[in-house]
Amino acid sequence: MNRRCRNRVANHIDKRKFFFVGLLSLIWLVFRSGTRPSRIVYPCQRVALANVQLWFLLYIAPLICVGRSLSISSIRRFFKRRKLSTVILASCIILASFTTVWFIIERSREVSVELSIEGRLASRSPSSDIFVVVGTNGYDEGFRRLIELMSAYDVRFYKSDTAGEFKGPDGLIARDDVVIIKVNSQWDERGGTNTDLLKAVIEAIVSHPDGFIGEIVVADNGQAQYGPYGTGGSLNWDRNNAEDRAQSVQKVVDTFSDRYKVSTYLWDSITLRKVQEYSEGDMEDGYIVYDNPDPKTGIIVSYPKFKTKFGTYISFKHGLWNPESKSYCRDKLKVINMPVLKTHSIYGVTACIKHYMGIPSDKLTQHNPHISVGSGGMGTLMAETRFPTLNILDAIWINPHPRSGPRTSYSSAVKVGIIAASLDPIALDYWASKNILMKTASILGYRDLSSMDPDNVSPGSFGSWLRLSMEALRTAGYRVVIGEEYINVYVHKLQG
């Protein structure tokens, strides 16, 4: 065999080898990364992905081009020569494989950052506690570990007459409480609260060790404005912050509503309706609006009152209304404040305090609450209406790009895999902006981090209005702190 022939044979063998290399790479990707797209960052997966892309260009794309040029008669002759079942099976395998590869490639564009989060103890008092779970994705045991961590430091999630590992008389949620879970619903994609985490929180509440007989309402006010379509919020977005992007807040709630009293209420639907309190004989759903602005922060306080799907009358300020006794029960209404951590184009950071912008009616008060954020108005709102029973900060996917939020697309979000909780919303906002947002932004190469820096106290800055909110809460008697020297941080790292 002459040299030219040997080269042709060698090239033919190499091409056949690569056909099988590419095909095996495709199978490897489907079985290795199909169930966990995050694995695509592994070096071996990157190599396999490159092989599959080249394989597609060499072997599949030409077939597609040829197929498009075939006449109907030639296609019929092709099918007559082969068994129809074989052709259909091969087509389904190819379609399924490349659908999976497309999904993997799409997810591979997502950015992940691993942060080093360490525990620490406060050096000054009074102090506040922050509990942090690192390495969670929302649909794992992360929230359960958070409950365990809190309990280890005497913050029990369950309120009960009997003491136990996670319950006690000083616990947070009783078996017969009505719990409002305040989520962020004004934006879709990664701009809203993670629905996997929401599902874990609801599951924890209804799993009360004494047997849950209370009620849960997942709610928010997207103000019937802004949002992806300029129409406000939704609890049933098509694109959501979850592993299964089709999993909306409403779909999560629907999984529980046949067994427990769990429902949703989008306050956008009543944000233009001004009403009076139940005690004044007004049973309509709507918004209570104060007559005058607060003398210090300038906010005109407003809050919702509404009837749930299960017939419970709720005043966000006064609690549960009993139509028979014509009285309120304030203590049986609990609020879990559950924001997603992200930057904000005007106010620097959205976290626990800014998240309360989903409580008042921005339209009935002519945009007054949103303007008052910069003067500490959300602190006044918390103090005048209802202070959160617990703040749970969703930092699984965050927006760390300075002043680019609150809208957060899939492509702009960064996965850091953290959830944190505290009884103190000021402390949690301070710590999270400094140790999660700023650290992530720095890793991504941003230099000017002043908009999200809680130690920047220039007029109108995040650090300034956070302190003004703190002063409003302190004036009302709430113990809230700012500064790392006043904060205890307890960390649990999931093994993964």
Predicted confidence (pLDDT) at residue 107 exceeds the cutoff of 80: no
CA distance 381 to 289: 12
Residue 5's pLDDT is what? 54
pLDDT band at 495 (very low <50, low <70, confident <90, very high): confident
Residue 51's pLDDT is what? 72
pLDDT band at 85 (very low <50, low <70, confident <90, very high): low
Q: What does the pLDDT look like over 423-467, one tens digit per residue?
A: 999 999 999 999 999 999 999 999 999 999 999 999 999 999 999
CA distance 312 to 191: 30
Predicted confidence (pLDDT) at residue 140 exceeds the cutoff of 90: yes
CA distance 321 to 330: 9
Residue 9's pLDDT is what? 43
Residue 27's pLDDT is what? 75
Q: Which residue has the tokens 């259909």?
A: 88
pLDDT band at 326 (very low <50, low <70, confident <90, very high): very high
Q: Where are the extended beta strands (E) located within 52-177?
A: 111-112, 128-134, 158-159, 167-168
Tokens standing for 260? 């427990």
Paired with 344 in beta bridges are 348
Residue 431 backbone phi and psi in degrees, to 5: -65, -45
CA distance 479 to 228: 37
Domain coordinates in residue numbering, the chain: 3-109, 128-493
Task: Write the CA distances from 462 to 180, 290, 456, integer angstroms.
Answer: 27, 26, 7
Residue 364's pLDDT is what? 98
CA distance 383 to 480: 12
279 in Cβ contact with 328 (< 8 Å): yes
Predicted confidence (pLDDT) at residue 12 exceeds the cutoff of 60: no
Select the more confidently predicted residue: 217 or 10.
217
Residue 380's pLDDT is what? 98
Amino acid at 417: G
Q: Is 127 exposed, middle or buried (0-12, 13-18, 19+ CB in 10 A)?
A: middle
339 in Cβ contact with 425 (< 8 Å): no
Please indicate, yes or no, whether the overall pTM of this predicted structure exceeds 0.85. Answer: no
pLDDT band at 302 (very low <50, low <70, confident <90, very high): very high
